Amino acid sequence: MFKALVLTQNDKRTQAQITQLEDGDLPEGDVLVDVAYSSLNYKDGLAVTGLGKIIRQFPMVPGIDFAGVVRESAHPDYQPGDEVILTGWGVGENHWGGMAERARVKGDWLVPMPLGCTAAKSMMIGTAGLTAMLCVQALQQAGIKPKDGEVLVTGASGGVGSVAVTLLAKLGFKVVAGTGRLEQNAAWLKQLGASDLIERSELEQDARPLDKQRWAAVVDTVGNKVLASALSQLNYGGVAAICGLAGGFALPTTVMPFILRGVSLLGIDSVQCPAAKRRAAWEQIVALLPDSYYQEACHEITLEQVPEAAAQIVKGEISGRTLIKVG
């Protein structure tokens, strides 16, 4: 028997309960993992609270990422005792996820634990950190360099944003952190490496088709008016790497930034990210993140505390990364 957080639905209301399960309850897969840690992402918050249509089949174990040790394997790349990470691939949405002491998944979805990393650290990074690294790599591949000017990170108080601020600062970029929680998080964002701060409300004004050039690049987790405003302020040849829609999925902009300033809009997805690209991103982020990140940007909860924390994260009341101690 093992412990799991199980979501069920009654009268269209999602209920979360700690439940004892057996290995036979788990879905199909060729690798069985003893889960040590998971993490709480915004998408997990929507799933656990039922406020988003994340899960369509119940019962479901949430948790879009986890880290642990292989218990059984029929996959050629993994043996019992191997330390592994899983992020994405619909786990925690349409395949039972990481908020349980055991998980059975496809071995092709797993990534070996990078050298110098641990299960706890990997989940302090998690889906959010992987996504942030992919955004930063996209800016670098597009030719953006520290000398080109300031980089704006929107939603900087969240999981993706806080990691993006840390990574960009570590790489020598001058980072401006945009947040709706400026008063509460100003000192913390400065500690992560932000050189300047901007209140989210300043970016939520109705954007002009073209505004004064300000940003060499943008990492956007918000979407909607915030992204539209950032696009209108990108320098000539600037780049926006976008990965979130915390502010909504609309994009009230025009073609003018693209055809008059030659800016680029790069969509970043970590869910279906190919294995080779995924492994390279994990190796780079583990090498780049300073020890201070794990101390300043992360806090730990138990499986029993997940429902309360899920309600907080969807209200924007949690900053940084939330680590879940499972096993």
**pLDDT tens digit sequence for 76-113:** 999 999 999 999 999 999 999 999 999 999 999 999 99
Residue 226: per-residue pLDDT:
96
**pLDDT tens digit sequence for 37-64:** 999 999 999 999 999 889 989 999 999 9
Residue 56: per-residue pLDDT:
87
293 falls in which pLDDT band (50, 70, 90)? confident
Considering only CA atoms, which of 88, 93, 80, 89 is closest in space to residue 34? 80
**In this prediction, what percent of the chain has a pLDDT beyond 90?**
87
pLDDT beyond 90 at 327: no
**pLDDT tens digit sequence for 155-171:** 999 889 999 999 999 99
Average pLDDT, the chain: 95
**pLDDT tens digit sequence for 223-278:** 999 999 999 999 999 999 999 998 899 999 999 999 999 999 999 999 999 999 99
Token output for 246: 């915390």
Residue 295: per-residue pLDDT:
85
- Return the number of other C-beta atoms located less than 10 Å from residue 235's C-beta: 18
pLDDT beyond 90 at 152: yes
Q: What is the mean pLDDT of residues 138-166?
A: 96
pLDDT beyond 90 at 11: no
pLDDT beyond 90 at 292: no
Q: What is the mean pLDDT of residues 24-38?
A: 97
Considering only CA atoms, which of 111, 211, 89 is closest in space to residue 228? 211
pLDDT beyond 90 at 129: yes
HEC string for the chain:
CEEEEEEEEECCEEEEEEEEECHHHCCCCCEEEEEEEEEECHHHHHHHHCCCCCCCCCCECCCCEEEEEEEEECCCCCCCCCEEEEECCCECCCECCCCECEEEECHHHEEECCCCCCHHHHHHHHHHHHHHHHHHHHHHHCCCCHHHCCEEECCCCCHHHHHHHHHHHHCCCCEEEEECCHHHHHHHHHHHCCCEEEEHHHHCCCCCCCCCCCEEEEEECCCHHHHHHHHHCEEEEEEEEECCCCCCCCCCCCCHHHHHCCCEEEECCCCCCCHHHHHHHHHHHHHHCCHHHHHHCEEEEEHHHHHHHHHHHHCCCCCCEEEEECC
Q: What is the mean pLDDT of residues 11-20?
A: 93
Residue 297: per-residue pLDDT:
80
Residue 209: per-residue pLDDT:
92
19 falls in which pLDDT band (50, 70, 90)? very high
Residue 1: per-residue pLDDT:
92
Residue 246: per-residue pLDDT:
86
Residue 22: per-residue pLDDT:
96
**Is the Cα dihedral 314, 65, 194, 213 positive or negative?**
negative
12 falls in which pLDDT band (50, 70, 90)? confident
